[in-house]
Amino acid sequence: MERLRIAVHKFSSCDGCQLAFLNMGEALIELSEAVEIVHFPEAGYVDELAHVDIAFIEGSIVTAHDENRIASIRAVSNRLVTIGACATSGGIQALKNAAQSPDDWTGTIYATPSYIDTLRTSSAIADYVPVDFELWGCPITSQQIVTLVGALLRGVWPVDDTEKVCMSCKRAQYVCTLVTKGEPCLGPVTRAGCGALCPAFGRDCFGCFGPSDTCNAQGLANRFVGLGYQPERIARRFRLIHSTRTDWSVT
């Protein structure tokens, strides 16, 4: 089986999704035998503009330099895969997109805003270059990477799992935090992939893995109103991690 050449690039992010590679354990050894890592600064490999079969992109576009850089990376990558909330939807830093004065928000935070090099918005990679596949999560899991690379090595296009967190929760027989505790759980509208991690510990889902297919966000928001939550708090709940997603826009 021919080894795939891969690269892992970082843009504006916390590095959490890159740790999904480094935290693989024994699977990382198996992965390194199946692929050739040519660029992954956090692991010690640096050759950003080398031609690769798969470029994994973590982070969002927030500077003019980022715009030029992602175009250059796309030009040398057969396939480009975004990993995590920042790369797929702009991430938590996209909350700045809703600032009332987007041209002056740095002035309300920093004493010398002239030193801050930033665009008005934080945007997903797909807003600038074509993306072949998206791995959702905040952060993604090591299993998502293993599954995707394994499929591509075998010449199979990976499956985009859009099942809802509620399905994972029910299969694991976790107590429903929405029904039994009346908490604003986003599980009914969030794509699976985390293994229902928060409900496993009795917490409501925060929506880290983004909108599921055919989700009814407004219907769930109406249910939260019925539980006594204020509309402003509900809107903040939906905007926390994937604020740019219009399918999670609620009133």
Token pair 């004065």 is at which residue? 101
**pLDDT band (50, 70, 90) for residue 167:** very high
Per-residue three-class SS string for the chain: CCCEEEEEEECECCCCCCHHHHCCCHHHHHHHHHEEEEEEHHHCECCCCCCEEEEEEECEECCHHHHHHHHHHHHCEEEEEEECHHHHHCCHHHHHHHCCCCCCHHHHCCCCHHHCCCCCCCECHHHCCCCCEEECCCCCCHHHHHHHHHHHHCCCCCCCCCCEHHHHHHHCCCCCHHHHHCCCCCHHHEECCCCCHHHHCCCCCCCCCCECCCCCHHHHHHHHHHCCCCHHHHHHHHHHHHCCCHHHCCC
For residue range 174-211, list pLDDT tens digits in order.
Answer: 999 999 999 999 999 999 999 999 999 999 999 999 99
- Residue 212 reports pLDDT greater than 80: yes
pLDDT at 218 over 70: yes
For the stretch 21-73, pLDDT in tens is 998 888 888 888 889 999 999 999 999 999 999 999 999 999 999 999 999 99
Highest mean pLDDT among 1-5, 97-101, 196-200: 196-200
Q: pLDDT at position 102, please?
A: 66
Q: Is the pLDDT of residue 3 over 90?
A: no
Question: Can you list the domains of the chain with their CATH numbers?
Answer: 4-154 (3.40.50.700), 165-239 (no CATH)
Average pLDDT over all residues of the chain: 93
pLDDT at position 228 is 96
At 98 the pLDDT is 85
Give the pLDDT band (50/70/90) at residue 1. low
pLDDT at 161 over 90: no
Share of the chain above pLDDT 90, in %: 76
pTM: 0.92
CA distance 37 to 33: 10
